[in-house]
């Protein structure tokens, strides 16, 4: 075989003439995996052999190699957390282990995508054997939109599509395409340039002339922030050079851990703040960034009554008052407000001795500014180093005018406006909370 023929056996061509990797040990089968795939059928189960080795039946799945077991143990609680979402796609699914696992966890619609014909054919046989009609199996390479799914898996693949099996050479088009296919959650694995497999295989040496951006976690996260609302790192299952990130199209109700959100070009870590009443989270979700002492407020209800815009109006109007949060950032599209930290909710442990005097002074000043807050309650009185602060002005009017003189929606149309607490009840509310 000539040198030219050997090169042709190793390389295939994609649009634009870029060379993409195809394993030379499996000539003509277009694959990046050197392992031959096979299946051994048994009466009620199938043993799958190849890159992933496992036993699968209608009601169970068991990994047969240690690395897959480690990854499965790591991914299982994550997949369980989002199993209430209806659909899932696994891109670069290989033998389909995580698709068959997700099926057992209750995902109703699943899609297995891999460019390896031999691998997908085995998955099709498993689907047929167990009559798994809710699973679609596609043989294709990453590079086009295959439809939207609530949850998308993109595991141990970023280094391949960057410069081997696809030739992007930068992260933006990769993450953009993933965002177009993701309704809610993208679970994506970052594989560092220092990863042993990357260094040994030299993934980043393929198509060097097509590289337009450094392959780095910083650039990867920059693109992730650009096309997703927020993300969180949930750790790694083997080497520290491989991290699993979960990226969110929106702030999901069941995300109660740390998330990352970009403020003025800087990604910051925010921690979800549990509401006082877990049965009623109110109109907003609250997050705290301890590093910068910032509060993130994500408005999710009653937007038609102007609560988001009214909050911003009053934060600007009252910015000179030291008991009111300082406005730091506004995201009008996502209805997010970032403010300075004002302390913890008033309680027996932090209440200052002169809390009544401080609160009287606050109410007097607000009246002088013609602020009438129809929803002032004890949970919105905060304490920081013995000093009271007040938050939440979404239902505050300008002397009874909910338009605040700038044409905001009339909150008085809210059916339960009369049921909201009045400001003259606040002393009683706090007193009851403190047991006075």
Q: What does the pLDDT read at residue 251? A: 53
What are the tens digits of pLDDT across the range 45-66? Answer: 999 998 899 999 999 999 999 9
> 104 versus 20: which is more confidently predicted?
104
Q: DSSP letters of 221-266?
A: HHHHHHHSSEEEE---SS-TTEEEEEEESS--TT--SEEEEEETTE
Is residue 139 predicted with pLDDT exceeding 70? yes
Q: What does the pLDDT read at residue 19? A: 52
Q: What does the pLDDT read at residue 416? A: 67
Q: DSSP letters of 259-296?
A: EEEEETTEEEEEEEPPPSSTT--TTEEEEEETTTTEEE
How far the first Cα of the chain sits from its last, in Å, is 92
Is residue 255 predicted with pLDDT exceeding 80? no
Q: What does the pLDDT read at residue 418? A: 61
Neighbours of 159 (CB within 10 A): 22
What are the tens digits of pLDDT across the range 178-211? Answer: 999 998 899 999 999 999 888 888 888 877 777 8
> 146 versus 32: which is more confidently predicted?
146
Q: What does the pLDDT read at residue 253? A: 41
CA angle 335, 404, 428 (to 5 degrees): 85
Q: What does the pLDDT read at residue 5? A: 39
Which pLDDT band, with edges at 50, 70 and 90, does 275 fall under?
A: low
Angle, helices 172-181/217-227, rounded to nearest 10 degrees: 40
Q: What is the mean pLDDT of the chain?
A: 84
Q: What does the pLDDT read at residue 20? A: 57
Give the least confident one: 11-15, 97-101, 259-263, 420-424: 11-15
What are the tens digits of pLDDT across the range 94-122? Answer: 999 999 999 999 999 999 999 888 899 99
Q: What does the pLDDT read at residue 43? A: 86
Q: What does the pLDDT read at residue 273? A: 77
What are the tens digits of pLDDT across the range 372-415? Answer: 887 788 888 999 999 999 999 998 999 989 999 999 988 877 87
Q: What does the pLDDT read at residue 30? A: 56
Q: What does the pLDDT read at residue 258? A: 75
Tokens 């989270």 -> residue: 281
Q: What is the average pLDDT across 16-31?
A: 53
CA angle 370, 288, 354 (to 5 degrees): 50
Is residue 282 predicted with pLDDT exceeding 70? no
What's the rounded Cα separation, in Å, for the pair 6 and 87? 42
Which pLDDT band, with edges at 50, 70 and 90, does 10 fall under?
A: very low
Which pLDDT band, with edges at 50, 70 and 90, does 238 fall under?
A: confident
Neighbours of 328 (CB within 10 A): 16
Query: What are the structural domains of the chain?
Result: 3-258 (3.40.50.150), 295-434 (no CATH)
Q: What is the average pLDDT across 240-248?
A: 90
Q: What is the average pLDDT across 234-249?
A: 87
How much of the chain exceeds pLDDT 70, in percent? 85
Tokens at residue 326, please?
């300082």
Which pLDDT band, with edges at 50, 70 and 90, does 285 fall under?
A: confident
Tokens at residue 269, please?
């870590």
């Amino acid at each position: 075989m000539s040198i030219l023929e050997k090169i042709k056996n190793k390389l295939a061509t994609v649009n634009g003439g870029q060379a993409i990797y195809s394993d030379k040990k499996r000539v003509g089968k277009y694959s990046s995996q050197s392992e031959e795939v096979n299946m051994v059928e048994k009466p009620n189960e199938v043993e799958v052999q190849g890159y992933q080795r496992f036993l699968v039946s209608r009601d169970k799945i068991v990994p047969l190699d240690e690395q897959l077991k480690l990854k499965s143990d790591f991914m299982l609680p994550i997949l369980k957390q989002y199993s209430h979402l209806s659909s899932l796609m696994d891109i670069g699914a290989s033998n389909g282990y995580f698709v068959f696992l997700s099926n057992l966890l209750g995902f109703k619609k699943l899609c297995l995508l891999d460019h390896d014909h031999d691998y997908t054919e085995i998955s099709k046989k498993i689907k047929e054997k167990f009559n798994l009609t809710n699973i679609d199996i596609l043989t294709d390479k990453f590079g086009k939109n295959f439809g939207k799914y609530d949850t998308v898996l993109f595991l141990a693949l970023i280094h391949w599509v960057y410069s081997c099996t696809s030739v992007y050479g930068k992260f933006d088009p990769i993450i953009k395409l993933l965002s177009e296919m993701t309704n809610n959650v993208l679970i994506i694995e970052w594989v560092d340039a220092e990863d042993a497999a990357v260094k040994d295989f030299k993934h980043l040496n393929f198509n060097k002339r097509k590289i337009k951006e450094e392959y780095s976690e910083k650039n990867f996260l920059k693109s992730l922030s650009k096309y997703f609302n927020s993300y969180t790192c949930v750790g790694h299952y083997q080497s520290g050079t491989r991290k699993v990130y979960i990226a969110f199209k929106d702030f999901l109700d069941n995300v109660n851990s740390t998330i990352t959100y970009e403020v003025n070009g800087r990604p910051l870590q925010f921690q979800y703040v549990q509401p006082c009443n877990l049965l009623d989270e109110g109109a907003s979700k609250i997050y705290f960034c301890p590093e910068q002492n910032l509060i993130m407020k994500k408005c999710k209800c009653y937007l038609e009554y102007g609560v988001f815009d009214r909050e911003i109006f009053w934060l600007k109007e009252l910015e000179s008052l030291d008991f009111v949060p300082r406005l730091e950032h506004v995201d009008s599209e996502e209805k997010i407000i970032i403010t300075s930290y004002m302390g913890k909710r008033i309680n027996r442990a932090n209440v200052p001795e002169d809390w009544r005097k401080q609160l009287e002074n606050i109410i007097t000043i607000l009246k002088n500014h013609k602020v009438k807050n129809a929803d002032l309650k004890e949970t919105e009185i905060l304490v920081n180093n013995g000093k009271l602060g007040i938050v939440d002005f979404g239902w505050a009017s300008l002397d009874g005018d909910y338009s605040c003189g700038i044409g905001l929606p009339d909150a008085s149309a809210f059916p339960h406006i009369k049921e909201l607490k009045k400001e003259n009840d606040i002393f009683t509310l706090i007193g009851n909370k403190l047991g006075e």
